């Protein structure tokens, strides 16, 4: 487990399954201990025990099993409050409170905003708590989620919402996919020196068995190929080499399809 200090809370990062991350958010001004996307109840229970605290809330970003499988057992053990997207109320196990971009969850000691970020699934949401972003399978280190339910246009709109957050926002995504994502990024963004530095840094990090996550919105904007269509120079270069229309959505769509085949 790795822990990160924020002004009003701590984030504890727990590896789970083969490459998932589960996050515990421990509020400083209340007894709140919330878990984001409990893939596995047992590792969450162990973490609660080592912190000496009771689990008070579950926050789900989307309905996939590797994000919700712990809901039922944790609800039974802690009688915690389960929060998820109103859109996915029928697909989130044990949901108590339905939220959306218009209805934020109210949790003592945490100021939580919700962003609708459809694309990977319809009804995928992200939680923004001050300078921490919990984005599930929407934005990854140097990557983005596959489009299982949404369209490229929906995903591109969702990614733009995340990119609009301040550069120093920490990106707590749900999988450690960064190194393979960076290999794809190097193929499509060859001359990007910040990307090359990141490949060096994150390779070292993984060799030490450390997480590359959290990254930051600033680093993702500079190196994540799925956010690079925000840059007009990148769009022009990529459009020319791939012989496609030089606009952000077409370039994003082409990148996502290339990655699926890569």
Instruction: State which of positions 77-106 bind Zn ion (CB under 5 A).
Output: none
Query: Using an 8 Å Cβ cutoff, are 166 and 130 in contact?
Result: no
Instruction: From the list Zn ion, Fe ion, none, pick the one residue 75 interacts with, judged by a Cβ distance below 5 to 8 Å according to partner type.
Output: none
**Interactions with Fe ion, residue window 37-96 (CB under 5 A):** 66
Residue ranges of E strands in 117-238: 125-129, 132-136, 139-140, 143-144, 170-173, 215-216
Cβ within 8 Å of residue 143, ≥6 positions away: 177, 178, 181, 184, 185, 224, 225, 226, 259
Q: Which is nearer to Fe ion, 143 or 229 (CB)?
A: 143
Contact call for residue 220 and Zn ion (CB under 5 A)? no
Q: In this complex, which beta carbon is closest to Zn ion, that of residue 12 or of residue 64?
A: 64
In whole angstroms, the minimum distance from the beta carbon of 41 to Fe ion comes to 16
Which residue from 56, 75, 165 is spatially nearest to 117, judged by alpha carbons? 165
Q: How far is the CB of 197 from Fe ion (least distance, A)?
A: 28
Closest alpha carbon to 2 in 208, 256, 142: 208
Q: Mark the segment that binds Zn ion (CB under 5 A) among 129-137, 155-163, 185-193, 216-224.
A: 129-137
Span of 136-144, 184-192, 193-201, 213-221 interacting with Zn ion by CB under 5 A: 136-144
Q: How many of the chain's residues bind Fe ion (CB under 5 A)? A: 2
Minimum CB–partner distance for residue 120 and Zn ion (Å): 6
Stretch touching Zn ion by CB under 5 A, among 57-65, 80-88, 186-194, 252-260: 57-65
Kindly tell me which residue out of 12, 57, 63, 64 binds Zn ion, with binding defined by CB under 5 A.
64
For Zn ion, which residue of 37, 40, 137, 220 counts as binding (CB under 5 A)?
Answer: 137
Crossing angle of helices 248-261 and 152-163, in 10° steps, is 110
Q: What are phi and psi of 249, to 5 degrees?
A: -65, -45
Query: To which H or E segment does residue 33 belong?
Result: strand 33-36
Residue 19 contacts by C-beta under 8 Å, 6 or more apart in sequence?
A: 175, 176, 177
> Contacts with Fe ion in 131-160 (CB under 5 A)?
137
124 binds, among Fe ion, Zn ion, none (CB under 5 to 8 A by kind): none
Query: Residues near 244 by Cβ (< 8 Å), separated by ≥ 6?
Result: 238, 250, 251, 254
Q: What is the Cα–Cα distance from 1 to 10, expressed in whole angstroms?
A: 12
The label of the residue with tokens 């490229």 reads 152
Query: Which of 14-22, 43-51, 135-143, 232-240 is the region at the interface with Zn ion (rule: CB under 5 A)?
Result: 135-143
Residues of this chain that interact with Fe ion (CB under 5 A) are 66, 137
Residues of this chain that interact with Zn ion (CB under 5 A) are 64, 137
């Amino acid at each position: 487990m790795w822990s990160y200090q924020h002004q009003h809370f701590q984030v504890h990062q727990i590896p789970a399954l083969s490459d998932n991350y589960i996050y515990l958010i421990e509020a400083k001004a209340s007894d709140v201990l919330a878990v984001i996307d409990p893939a596995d109840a047992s590792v969450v229970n162990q973490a609660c025990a080592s912190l000496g605290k009771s689990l008070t809330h579950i926050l789900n970003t989307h309905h996939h099993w590797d994000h919700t499988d712990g809901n039922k057992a944790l609800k039974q053990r802690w009688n915690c409050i389960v929060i998820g997207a109103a859109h996915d109320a029928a697909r989130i196990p044990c949901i108590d409170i339905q939220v959306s971009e218009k209805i934020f969850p109210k949790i003592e000691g945490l100021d939580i905003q919700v962003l609708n970020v459809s694309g990977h699934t319809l009804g995928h949401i992200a939680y923004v708590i001050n300078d921490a972003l919990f984005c599930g399978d929407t934005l990854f280190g140097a990557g983005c989620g596959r489009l299982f339910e949404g369209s490229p246009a929906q995903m591109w709109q969702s990614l733009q919402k995340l990119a609009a957050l301040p550069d120093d926002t920490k990106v707590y995504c749900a999988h450690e996919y960064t190194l393979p994502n960076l290999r794809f990024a190097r193929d499509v963004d060859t001359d990007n020196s910040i990307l090359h530095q990141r490949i060096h840094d994150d390779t070292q990090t993984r060799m030490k068995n450390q997480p590359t996550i959290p990254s930051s919105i600033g680093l993702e904007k500079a190196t994540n190929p799925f956010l690079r269509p925000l840059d007009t120079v990148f769009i022009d270069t990529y459009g020319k080499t791939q012989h496609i229309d030089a606009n952000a959505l077409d370039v994003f769509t082409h990148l996502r399809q290339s990655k699926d085949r890569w």
